[in-house]
Amino acid sequence: MKQITIISGKGGTGKTSIIAALASVAENAVIADCDVDAADLFLVLKPQILFENKYLGGKTAVIDYSKCTNCGICKDLCRFDAINTIGDRITISEFSCDGCELCKRVCPEDAISMIQSDSSRWFISDSRFGPMVYARLGIAEDNSGKLVTVVREEAKKIAKAKNRDFVIIDGPPGIGCPVIASITGVDIAIIVTEPTQSGLHDLKRVVELVNNFSIKPLIILNKFDLNKEMTEVIEKYCKKNDIEIIAWIPFNRIFVDAMVNQQTIVEYNKFSELTNIIQSIWNKIQKYTV
């Protein structure tokens, strides 16, 4: 069983549409939506949830006001500016609290305790293109890297149990902890980029990250025809760094129309140029994972 992660340096590159389209041509894959901070693949794939599971995320500090004397020690020491005085009361912001527990340790009245958040969920589901695992991170929840790992592990288990040859992973944007969790140990990392200065900047950062994990990056250049000059710059960068561009996707309204109709671009028009490109990407993925 092979694992393929598709990532992008930033949001808005068309990554999710491309992954949904790949899912519709792959006949033997499990889909893992690891973009847990902004999971949206389910909007297109509309999977039926089979199991809903709680994910125990980070801890947040809370004050027992029957013990607190308002001394302010915790407020002075919190490095995350999560503790403030509101009115005449010391208050902890659950959105800013990092869960470091320092305030709990220094409080002379033992007035602070930590509570475990359980507002995040992960789901095992069935989509029209096969099994899908995805998650929803609770508001202000962190530890998304761990949640990515949970989603990947469950997807792998399902792939093994159902004899699926591939796990297609929708990775989060950027280069942070969740991205690292989504590329660790995969067979291929495909980076979706677009021909803009910021696209190139983000691409370089992601390539560097992927290289650090000794994974060969492959590039999909989306909307390449919108800025031919920048497309050439990216092509030169890839050539110089021995990175293969596996597809050039032109700008096409079908992306938007398909999304509006809650279909993949392949479903929306089976005979379009885009469908051929998606099929050729999938053929290359299969070739590279033999």
Which positions touch ligand SF4 (CB under 6 A)?
61, 63, 68-74, 78, 80, 82-83, 90, 92, 97-103, 107, 109, 111-112
Nearer to ligand SF4, 25 or 74 (CB): 74
Provide the minimum distance between the beta carbon of 285 and ligand SF4 in the complex, in angstroms, as a whole number: 43
Mark out the alpha helices in 122-264 (DSSP H runs). Answer: 144-161, 177-183, 197-212, 228-240, 254-260
Provide the minimum distance between the beta carbon of 118 and ligand SF4 in the complex, in angstroms, as a whole number: 18
Q: How many CB atoms lie within 10 A of CB 15?
A: 26
Provide the minimum distance between the beta carbon of 177 and ligand SF4 in the complex, in angstroms, as a whole number: 17
- Which of 268, 272, 284, 238 minimizes the C-alpha distance to 20? 268
Nearer to ligand SF4, 101 or 267 (CB): 101
Distance CA 119, CA 136 (A): 9
Nearer to ligand SF4, 96 or 269 (CB): 96
Provide the minimum distance between the beta carbon of 140 and ligand SF4 in the complex, in angstroms, as a whole number: 12
The dihedral through the CA atoms of 265, 267, 272, 275 has a sign that is: positive
Provide the minimum distance between the beta carbon of 144 and ligand SF4 in the complex, in angstroms, as a whole number: 17
Nearer to ligand SF4, 104 or 223 (CB): 104
Distance CA 101, CA 270 (A): 55
Per-residue tokens: 274: 């885009």
Nearer to ligand SF4, 76 or 244 (CB): 76
